[in-house]
Amino acid sequence: MVDQPLAPHRRPWTRRALLAAGAGAATAFAGVPRARASTAATTRVGDAEVTVLTDGHLIQPMAFILPDRPEAEIAALLTPHGLPIDAVQPDCNLTLLRIDGRVVLFDAGSGPLFQNTVGKLPASLAAIGVDPAEVTDICFTHAHPDHLWGVLDDFDEPVFPHARCWMNRTEWDFWRAPGTLDATPEARKTFVVGAQNRLERIEDKIALFDAGNEPLPGIEAVASTGHTPGHTSFLIHRGGEGLLVVGDAITNAVISFERPDWHTGSDQDPSKGADTRRRLLDRLAAERTRIVGFHLPYPGIGTVERVGGHYRFAPTV
Residue selected from 248, 268, 296, 313 as contacting Zn ion according to rule CB under 5 A:
248
Mask for 116-135, x = binds Zn ion (CB under 5 A): --------------------
Cis amide prior to 299 (ω within 30 degrees): yes
Query: Using the rule CB under 5 A, is 220 a contact of Zn ion?
Result: no
CA atoms within 13 A on the CB side of 206: 18
Residue 3 or 131: the one with the smaller Cβ distance to Zn ion is: 3
| CB-neighbour burial class of residue 148 (10 A; exposed 0-12, middle 13-18, buried 19+) | buried
| CB-neighbour burial class of residue 275 (10 A; exposed 0-12, middle 13-18, buried 19+) | middle
Task: Tell me which H or E stretch contains 234.
Answer: strand 232-238
Query: Using the rule CB under 5 A, is 295 a contact of Zn ion?
Result: no
Q: Which residues pair with 314 in a beta bridge?
A: 303
Mask for 141-160, x = binds Zn ion (CB under 5 A): ---x----------------
Residue 94 or 103: the one with the smaller Cβ distance to Zn ion is: 94
CA separation for the pair 109, 119 (Å, rounded): 6
Binding segment (CB under 5 A) for Zn ion, from list 59-67, 92-100, 118-126, 241-249: 241-249
Residue 103 or 253: the one with the smaller Cβ distance to Zn ion is: 253
Cβ–Cβ < 8 Å for 261, 270: no
Shortest separation between residue 226's beta carbon and Zn ion, angstroms? 11
CA separation for the pair 314, 317 (Å, rounded): 9
Residue 238 or 263: the one with the smaller Cβ distance to Zn ion is: 263
Shortest separation between residue 248's beta carbon and Zn ion, angstroms? 4
Residue 14 or 271: the one with the smaller Cβ distance to Zn ion is: 271
Query: Using the rule CB under 5 A, is 171 a contact of Zn ion?
Result: no
Whole-angstrom Cα Rg for the chain:
18
Binding segment (CB under 5 A) for Zn ion, from list 35-43, 214-222, 233-241, 244-252: 244-252
Shortest separation between residue 247's beta carbon and Zn ion, angstroms? 7
> What DSSP designation does 156 have?
S
Shortest separation between residue 101's beta carbon and Zn ion, angstroms? 30
What's the gap between Cα 78 and its chain centre? 21
Angle of the 169-176 helix axis to the 189-201 helix axis, nearest 10: 110
Shortest separation between residue 142's beta carbon and Zn ion, angstroms? 6
Positive or negative CA dihedral for 280, 258, 287, 238?
Answer: positive
Residue 42 or 180: the one with the smaller Cβ distance to Zn ion is: 180
List own/partner pairs for 156-161 with CB under 8 A and 24 or more apart.
Answer: 156/201, 158/201, 158/202, 158/205, 159/108, 159/111, 159/122, 159/132, 160/105, 160/108, 160/132, 160/133, 160/135, 161/132, 161/133
Query: Using the rule CB under 5 A, is 277 a contact of Zn ion?
Result: no
Residue 144 or 238: the one with the smaller Cβ distance to Zn ion is: 144
Residue 53 or 195: the one with the smaller Cβ distance to Zn ion is: 195
Shortest separation between residue 72's beta carbon and Zn ion, angstroms? 28
> How many residues belong to the site for Zn ion (CB under 5 A)?
2
Chain residues binding Zn ion by CB under 5 A are 144, 248
